A and B are shown apart, each in its own frame.
Chain A
Amino acid sequence: MAQAKIMVVDDDPDVVEILRLVLETAGYQVASANSAPQGLDKVKEFCPDLVLLDVMMPDGTEGFQFVWKLRNEFPPELADTPIIVLSAIHETTKLRFYPDQSDGTYRSGEFLPVQGFIDKPAEPEMLLKRIEQVLQMWSK
């Protein structure tokens, strides 16, 4: 899987640069976009195996729009691309994205159809491990 293609969508160029460095060092092929519309355009050319996505809060909900559009408006082979959301959003909002049903605070309808969440700042090793996990699960 070392040759897998990963797309980074984040409006912070520093974060994009760091992630690119980490991912390329680990042997992935990387493309990047600094906005959701640009990311959606690039998905079509690059056909990534996985998208690392920032939700880009609090000024917009571009990240959510990205997930929504990719899942609903793209051809199936692209629409199912696994997404890992990379964000500090747990800290700043009460939003939860995943149906952690064992959690007493779980309420249906509060999750986002993505494959994982990583809190920023991400430990590079941990990030790589998660990416590998998701890719493996999805290639089955």
Chain B
Amino acid sequence: MPSEQELASNNRWLIRLRWLAAGGIVLSAAVAAGPLGYPVPLAKLVLLGAAVGGYNAVLSIVNRRLLDHAEDDHTAAQRLANTQIALDLIALAALIHFSGGIANPFAIYLVFHMIIAGILLPPTHAYAQAGLATVLYAAVVFGEYAQVLPHVVIFTGCGFLNALDTAAHVAVMASAFFIAVFLTITVSQKLRQREQDLAQALERVARYATSSDLARRDLQRTQEMRLQYMRKVSHELRAPLSSINMALRTIRDGLAGEVPEKVRELTARAEARSESLLDTVGDLLTLSRARQAPLQEPFTELAVSHLLEQVTEALGDSAELHGVELHMEVAPGLPPLSGQPEGLRTALENLVGNAIKYTPAGGRVTLSASLDEGDRRVLIRIADTGIGVSPTDLPRLFDEFFRTEEARALQVHGSGLGLAIVKAIVTAHQGEIAVDSVLGEGTVFTVQLPTAPAEGGTAPDLAT
């Protein structure tokens, strides 16, 4: 069954076509009677064309009123479609009669109306229209055969053969009408079914989209809860640890009274261990936060030079303390980065801090930034002249809690989480990190970070 809208638009379409048909009748009658010289009754045919135009005007008004009323009056629209087709069948029957009856090949035009009925009407109505067409056609040809109606002879020598021939003619036409209706109904039903399937599929897709949206929100909530849990645990661990640490410092400093040397030494060791434990707890929290960084806060535009200056400033004292020279080199005109300032600072501070930590006094740490022209990424390099990493250890360097033997041998504290944190932050920024090292000579970390999208016309970063 066609929908209300489909019916209305098809009604309108049919009315438009009929204007052409009315003109066509008049024109072809004129051509047939004039140049072609068929003995057709021109006046009657012109009148018929006018009649078709006339009822079409009425239909047009009715249809417009129907559309204006906008109420979903399905039966009214259907009635209009039925009326149109029936009127056309009658008009066409009259046309056939006036222009030669059985000899007129225009009879085949009745099939068009069967197709239209098959599209527009419910099957029973369409078959009824086929019945009407058959009856009208039979009435014309049998009427003329029985000489109840006058027969217009257009082909000389081609009259009625006999009653059987006429009946056969009518039967063939009738079968054409019914087959046309049947085929059209079948095809349009299939098309409608497919349309419905498509609509349902679209609806299902929309539903899936909503449910995946909900799932994403759930995931985000879970992540937030996990982070909250990590904060809580970290606080629960840090609070007692820091009070242990403060107590030990107080004892060590003799603020709680005179301390024998041996006790002071042990206290200092205990204090160092509690401090490294505090660092580990802090690093664990940083790591968990870095892994969820994309969910935390939006990225902002960052000037590379500013970022590197902050890092150099923060670690200048430490470098000095270690007797390591800390250098910064920023290529001019770098485009800004897109990222979380805090995160990127943490990552770079970890890398530079490591470089300082694992570089013997007199060594040199260089923090530099340049532009990878190829794919518009900023390259930040942290190069040191430190203890280096053996080739076998390189692949495990970013693993959690992994520390190389050489690093352990130095007896400097480290949680083994620093590089895992760096990797998590860089990954969250859609960046990449690579490491290259020669044992005993030094290490170079290269961080590749995507630049902020150029839209918005941001000025390039001017190194200050």
What is the interface of chain A, defined by CB distance below 8 A to chain B? 12, 14-15, 18-19, 21-22, 25-26, 57-58, 88, 91-94, 103-105, 120-125
Select one of B238, B247, B306 contacting A88, CB under 8 A: B238
Contact (A103, B310) CB under 8 Å given A14-B243, A120-B246, A121-B249: yes
B396 CB within 8 Å of chain A: no
Selected from A12, A91, A123, the residue in CB contact (under 8 A) with B234 is A91
> In the complex, which of the residues B234, B235, B250, B310 contacts A18, with contact meaning CB atoms closer than 8 Å?
B250
**Is A21 in contact with B235, judged by CB distance below 8 angstroms?**
no
Tell which of A25, A58, A88 touches B242, judged by Cβ atoms closer than 8 Å.
Answer: A88
Q: Is the CB of A58 within 8 A of B231?
A: yes
One of B234, B256, B303 near A92 (C-beta < 8 A): B234
**Residues of chain A lying within 8 A (CB to CB) of residue B243:** 12, 14-15, 18, 121
- Tell me the minimal C-beta distance from B251 to chain A in angstroms: 9
How many interface contacts (CB-CB < 8 Å) are there between A and B? 68
25 A-B residue pairings within 8 Å (CB atoms): A12-B239, A14-B243, A14-B247, A15-B242, A15-B243, A18-B243, A18-B247, A21-B255, A58-B232, A88-B235, A88-B239, A88-B242, A91-B234, A91-B238, A92-B234, A92-B238, A104-B307, A104-B341, A105-B342, A120-B238, A120-B242, A121-B241, A121-B243, A124-B249, A125-B253
Return chain B residues, CB-CB under 8 Å to A57: 235
Set A93, A121, A122: member contacting B231, Cβ < 8 A: A93
Q: Out of B232, B256, B342, which one reaches A94, CB within 8 Å? A: B342
In the complex with contacts A21-B256, A94-B342, A122-B246 CB distance below 8 A: yes
A residues near B133, Cβ cutoff 8 Å? none
**Is residue B433 within 8 Å, beta carbon to beta carbon, of the partner chain?**
no
In the complex, A121→B249 CA distance in Å? 9
Task: State the Cβ distance, B336 to closest chain A Cβ, in Å.
Answer: 11
Residues of B within 8 A of A (CB): 231-232, 234-235, 238-243, 245-247, 249-250, 253, 255-256, 275, 278, 282, 285, 302-303, 306-307, 310, 341-342
Which partner residue on chain B sits nearest A105 by CB separation?
B341
Greatest chain B CB density within 10 A among A103, A120, A123 is at A120
- Taking a contact as CB atoms closer than 8 A, the residue among B240, B247, B306 that contacts A104 in the complex is B306
- Determine whether the beta carbon of B235 is less than 8 Å from that of A121: no
Q: Which residues of A contact B278 (CB under 8 A)?
A: 121
Closest chain B CB from A25 CB (angstroms)? 5
> Contacts of A103 on B, CB cut-off 8 Å?
310
Other contacts beyond A103-B310, A121-B275: 18, CB < 8 A: A12-B239, A14-B243, A18-B243, A18-B247, A18-B250, A26-B255, A58-B231, A88-B239, A91-B282, A91-B285, A104-B303, A105-B341, A120-B246, A121-B245, A121-B249, A122-B246, A124-B246, A124-B249
Check A22–B234 contact: CB distance below 8 A: no
Question: For residue B310, which residue of chain A has the nearest CB?
Answer: A104
Chain A residues in 8 Å Cβ range of B310: 103-104
Q: Which residues of A contact B250 (CB under 8 A)?
A: 18, 21-22, 124
Contact B307–A121 (Cβ < 8 Å): no
CB-CB under 8 A from A105, the residues of chain B are 341-342
Bound-complex Cα distance A135 to B146 (A)? 129
Enumerate chain A residues within 8 angstroms of B285, measured Cβ to Cβ: 91-92
Please state if B242 and A124 are interface contacts (CB–CB under 8 Å). no
Bound state CA distance, A25 and B245, in angstroms?
A: 18
Complex Cα–Cα for A9 and B306 (A):
38
Instruction: Decide if A124 touches B231 in the complex (CB within 8 Å).
Output: no
B253: chain A residues at CB < 8 Å are: 124-125
Q: How far is A18 from B278 in the complex, measured between Cα atoms in Å?
A: 18
Rounded to whole angstroms, the CA-CA distance of A7 and B243 in the bound complex is: 18
Cα-based distance from A18 to B144 in the complex (angstroms): 125
Complex interface: chain B residues within 8 A of A125 (CB): 253
Contacts of B247 on A, CB cut-off 8 Å? 14, 18
Nearest A-chain residue to B247, judged by Cβ: A18
Q: Which residues of B contact A122 (CB under 8 A)?
A: 246
